[in-house]
Amino acid sequence: MLNETKELLKGFYELDDETFKLSEEVMEDIGDQFEEIKKVREYNQYKVLKAMQEARLSDNHFNWTTGYGYNDLGREKIEEIYANVFGAEDALVRPIIVNGTHALSLCIQGIVRPGDEILSVTGLPYDTLQGVIGIREEKGSLKEFGVTYDQVDFLEDGNVDLEGIKKKINEKTKLVMIQRSKGYAWRKSLTINDIKEAIDTVKSVNPNIIVMVDNCYGEFLDTKEPTEVGADVMAGSLIKNPGGGLALTGGYIAGKKELIELISYRLTSPGIGKECGLTFGTTRTVLQGFFMAPYVVSQAVMGAIFCARAFEKLGYDVLPKYNDIRSDIIQVVRLNNADEVIHFCQGVQAAAPVDSYVKPEPWAMPGYESEVIMAAGAFVQGSSIELSADAPIRAPYNVYFQGGVTFDHSKMGTLKAIQHMKKGK
């Protein structure tokens, strides 16, 4: 490390000697973990590059259209490239999909019909999706339309209950949901092999059941995506991994062509589908972000590993451990109380390039049962691929750390979180 860097860290960033020493020790511990990440990054970078070249991407595809958006060449090119990279037959990639929950909601509403049953095989879905399904009472939920729900919980060892899946599937089961990331749960995120095993189990019982994967936070963590190992459809957010920190908004859905068509009727209307819809000049940033995504995701994963090892050395329980296999960018740290959660998030905010002077506080965020605190000093509001940390204010006081378009920034987020926790004691 340059002497100038040491002076900057101890001076402007106010890292005390103890925290600075911890940082150096962590860097020595985690170097070997980075080598595999770099291999996956390189493969995915060339995979995206290949898709863009095969699509004959041109700067003409960055032009605006107006009105209905018929013949929006840029929109069509984005969806062609996404489908290619994700090994899918077709895709929807639109700025009017407001977040990952919206993308998943469109999938479910496009596929299921009254009398059908949804089966989650990864336990309770993420908080915001519970209202869509009707697990939590919300106006307009699928429960109101006669769609039922059941779930298979994880085994005690944290693995998917494959035998439980076989027992739960029945003649009404239309859609099986798999959530790749841990969400607000203390469990491992599913690897691509885990997802394949679950899909194979479902299809062995009934090959006609549609399997949907919530792929949020998981893109480019492996050399394959769920649609390349048997998933019929998957969805995610552009302000998470695939947006590469450049996409301003939006979501994607990729999968089988007939399913994308059904889902597109919920996006617009029956009979219109995906044939229109403006991209509002976002084509350039969406595609440039997608091009950058493999590198940006690798930086976020490296930052998560640094965070895990630092808090392990401080005596905290973390998930995953710094040397575990990873399948999303989220790092969970189990803290001791609400105050530590608040100070952790305030430290991450203090490391931000935007709104670093702001002190986040818990609030009643729509879609969540508990108050939530969020640190997110990002160039794109709510961007989870940029450095952020959030947590529901409830026992057992897990805080969720994710993102960082550069490793150095993610590393600083961890160090400032530690400093703020020290000051808060």
Domains, the chain, ordered by start: 3-45+291-424 (3.90.1150.60), 65-290 (3.40.640.10)
Quick one: pLDDT at residue 1? 65
Quick one: pLDDT at residue 416? 96
Quick one: pLDDT at residue 282? 94
Quick one: pLDDT at residue 203? 98
Cα 231 to Cα 12: distance, rounded to the nearest angstrom: 49
Quick one: pLDDT at residue 9? 81
Quick one: pLDDT at residue 367? 64
Quick one: pLDDT at residue 237? 97
CA distances to 49, 64, 122, 303, 394 from 250, in Å: 21, 17, 25, 25, 30
- H/E element, 338: helix 338-350
Bridge-based pairing of strands 173-179 and 117-120 is parallel
Residues of the chain with pLDDT under 70: 1, 367, 425
Quick one: pLDDT at residue 396? 92
Quick one: pLDDT at residue 12? 82
What percent of the chain is modeled with pLDDT above 70?
Answer: 99
Quick one: pLDDT at residue 425? 63
Cα 352 to Cα 5: distance, rounded to the nearest angstrom: 18
Cα 131 to Cα 124: distance, rounded to the nearest angstrom: 12
Radius of gyration for the chain, computed over Cα atoms and rounded to the nearest angstrom: 21
Cα 274 to Cα 162: distance, rounded to the nearest angstrom: 36
Cα 375 to Cα 349: distance, rounded to the nearest angstrom: 5
Quick one: pLDDT at residue 219? 98
Quick one: pLDDT at residue 3? 79
Torsion over CA: 122, 81, 207, 97 (sign)? positive
Quick one: pLDDT at residue 298? 98
Quick one: pLDDT at residue 365? 74
Q: Beginning with the edge strand found earlier in the chain, give each strand of the sheet holding 388-392 in spatial order.
A: 317-319, 331-334, 398-402, 388-392, 372-375
Quick one: pLDDT at residue 148? 97
